Every structure is written in C-alpha cells, then in structure tokens.
A and B are shown apart, each in its own frame.
Chain A
Amino acid sequence: MERALNLSKVNRVFLEEVKSSHTGRTVPYCYQCGTCSSSCPVAEEMDIKPHEMVEMIKLGLTDALIRCKAIWQCTTCYMCTERCPQEVQLTLIILGLRNIAMREGAVIPEAVKESCKNLYETGRLVTPSRFQRQQREKLKLPEVLQVDTEPIKGMMKKTAVAGILEVK
C-alpha cells in the first residue's frame, strides 16, 4: 500500500458520511492508541491495521479503504470494540466500510453473492438439503417450515446486491 498521503485522493465529505451512519457514529472518539490492532487476532495479516482504518476515514482516503483486503479479513470477533478505551465500535465501522465498498461497486465477494441468492430465494442463508430433511425426520425433529420470503425480497431489493439477484 502507498504510505504517503496523496491529497488529490482525499474525499473531504467521507468522514461526514461515515459519522452520520449508525455503524460509523463512534469514529470521532478514536485517539489512535492502537489497542484495537494489538487485540485483533488477524491484524498481522492485514494490509491496513484496524486503528489505521479509523484514521483513514478521518483523512478521507475512501478509495484505499474500500479496495483493501483487510476489511474482508475481519472476523467480527468484537475484541477491538470490547477493549477500546473510547468505546469506538470498530467492528460496526468495518461492517459499514464493507457496505460502502459494495454500494460503490468496489467489490462484491463471491461468498456474499451466493449467500444473498440463498437468502433471497429461501429466506435463509442455509437451508436443509434433502438428506438433512430426512435426517431431521429420523431424529424426530420438527420439520423446517418455509419462510414467507416476500418481505425479504423487498428488503434485498433495497441493497447493493439487488443487481445480482435477478430482481424482476
């Protein structure tokens, strides 16, 4: 990653945009102590460390953030959020960055496409296979009922993945 700050790539409204969302409202509290990055189980693998992500939001380095690998390496274990002395909700911030990355069309991971298609069609991320249904019956477990998928279809149409769901 380019470590020098290139002012021509600065998005001056990015901080405002992130700050006004539910996931990003705690960004301003960060004072860069780095507790999050030293608590993170995957920080050593990341091209941008958790505490750097927050500073980059403040600096408006949108492009580098939404195209980095690190936001997808987060395991959402909430260790950073737990230990932050400023109660910055970093896990939510990273989820928010993923939302922006998808909305801006920077990336839609294959796993997300697949899961969203399942969700759109069945109302569940995973559904029992025929074998699993038979197994449930054998174990005398109640049948897994069909979900009313209309509300979910309506919800998914509002998201960045609407285009891949073959929305009619």
Chain B
Amino acid sequence: MRYGYFPGCYVLSRKLQYDLSARNVMKKLGVEIVEMTDAPCCGPAIVKSVDYSVASALSARILAMTKERGLNTLVTLCPECFSSFIKVNTGFKEDVKFKEEVNHILSSTAGLKYNGDVEPKHILQVVYEDIGLKGLSEHIIKRFNGVKVAVQPGCHFLRASTSYYADDPEDPRMLDEVVESLGMESVYWPLKLWCCGAPTLAFDRELSLKLAGRKLRSIKASGADCIVTACPYCHTQLDQYQPMVERRLNEKFGIPTFLFTQILGLCMGLSPEEVGLHMNRVSPSKILDFIG
C-alpha cells in the first residue's frame, strides 16, 4: 500500500494530534505514505461559496499533482478535503461541461490537466477497507473494555451518498465497528447524523455553538463516556469549544473527545504522547484508566 498523504491545511497547523497519531498508526500498520505537504488548499465550502468552479479547480490541482507523482490514491484525514475531491470526480462523471470548465481553469493557471482518475480515500477507509478489522486485530494489544462511545463520523464523509457511497448515510457503521473492535461500546444517540456546526462558525458563531451544544446534550443524555470522531472540525467543536459551549448553556459536560487514530494508536501500544493526547482540551484521564 503506497498512498499520497494529504492531511489538509487545517490538520497541518491546528490539529497536530491528528497528523501525529495518523502517521504513527499508519507506520505500525505498514502503510507507506508519500508526503504532499507542498499541496495547496483543497477548495472547501468557504471557497466553494465564492466560486464553485474555481474551488473545484483547486481540488483538481491536488489530484493532478498526485497523479504526476505516479500515485493513484490520495489519503486524507479531513472529511471536508475528502468530500472536495469526491465531488470533483463525480462532478466530472455527471457533467462534461463542468469537467471542461474546471480543466480550462486548471490548465490556464497551473498548466495541469485532470481526468478524474485519482481515488480519494479517507484514513478511516484505509483502516476499515484496506487493513480490515481482521488485519487490524493483529496489531491490537490493549483494549478499552466497556467504555461507552458516542461515535461522530463527520457529515462530509457520509454525504451525499448519491454521489459517493462510503458508509450507510442514515446508519453509519464503519467507525462504530472500528471502536467496537477495540472493546468499546458504541451507544445510540439521536443527533449522531447532525452537523456539529463547524462550517458556520465563520459566518454565524452563535448558531455554530448552538449546534455543538445540541450535540453535546444528546451525547450526555446517551450516557456515553467519551466521543470518537474521524473529523478534525468536529473534534474542534466538541473538544476545544466544549468549555465555551458549557459556559453558554450553563451546563457541565466534561466529555473527553478523541480523534479515532488516537484511540487506535493507544490500543496498538503507542504512548499518549505519540498520539498527541496532551493536545486535547478536555482531559482524557478518566478514560485512560479503562485501557488494559
């Protein structure tokens, strides 16, 4: 397995624990990565809001760069980047005019062409599909037996399945099965599929934190001991901003929130430092007591 590795701008500077834990986990799993740290922005929602075609040309540029380096697969950590790449590929298939328009922008500015033939992969798919739960179990030496988890896969990994089917969009199981293989119990919580509010943070801060608060309340009511997510933005909303949401709602949560590669790394024998646990905002100490 040899993949291009594109953590995304946000992870590269603001979510170092995801970059660190993902690299260490992939090393243990024997996944070979090719650095793409010189790649630009993927053209996420805020750029799509300015100009959808230009944003798509940004995504296509990264995919074309991947191809130029002799690679067919690009691994992302961020579901937003993942979704940007997917939407270029499916958009190219569904709409020839769009493909021509994006390629015109791309060739006139970057001198590149993109055919829609590089496969974007989220790191959760690398773990679940390429390594598989059976393959993964060979690397697991510790388990979090009995810990109840609220799983938060991230909207852009799941939807819209009409253009790309990664996991069941109404009843996602991929991340749940991964944490269950680590001894954890994935609990039902009604707002699992709802947006965490991160994408509106820049436009409407109060609305964004209100959405995060709703999710945290739903998680608390479900009896979960912690949250596990595959999205760096969900992690920021639910972990970093958790104290801020607590103050606004005048309600205590104190729910540790992990990126799934952190939990995975710990179960593979990596140290808390090697998965960057010290960079999480809400103290994970009460969960760490369960590992064994």
Contacts and interface: CB of A to CB of B under 8 A. Distances in A.
B159 interface: yes
B290 interface: no
A126 to B, nearest CB: 5
A45 interface: yes
A111 B109 contact: no
Contacts of B39: 147
Contact of A99 (B49, B61, B156): B49
Contacts of A98: 48-50
Interface string A84-109: 00010101100110110010000001
Say which size band chain A's interface belongs to. 35 or more
10 contacts: A25-B95, A78-B160, A81-B160, A92-B52, A95-B45, A109-B203, A126-B10, A129-B13, A132-B16, A158-B51
A143 B13 CA distance: 10
A23 interface: yes
Interface string A24-54: 0100000000000000011001000000000
A95 B83 CA distance: 14
Say which size band chain B's interface belongs to. 35 or more
Q: Which 5 A-B pairs have CB atoms at the shortest separation, nearest pair first?
A: A111-B202, A154-B109, A151-B110, A78-B159, A128-B13
A144 B12 contact: yes
Instruction: Provide the main secondary structure of the chain A interface.
Output: loop
A127 B109 CA distance: 22
A150 B276 CA distance: 35
B16 A139 contact: yes
Interface of B: 9-10, 12-14, 16, 19-20, 23, 35, 37-41, 44-54, 57-58, 61, 91, 95, 97-98, 101, 105, 108-112, 155-156, 158-162, 169-170, 193-195, 197-200, 202-204, 207, 211, 276
A141 B19 contact: yes
Nearest to A97: B49
Given A95-B52, A99-B52, A115-B202, A145 B38 contact: yes
Contacts of B9: 124-127
Given A75-B195, A75-B199, A151-B110, A124 B41 contact: yes
Interface string A57-77: 000000000000000111111
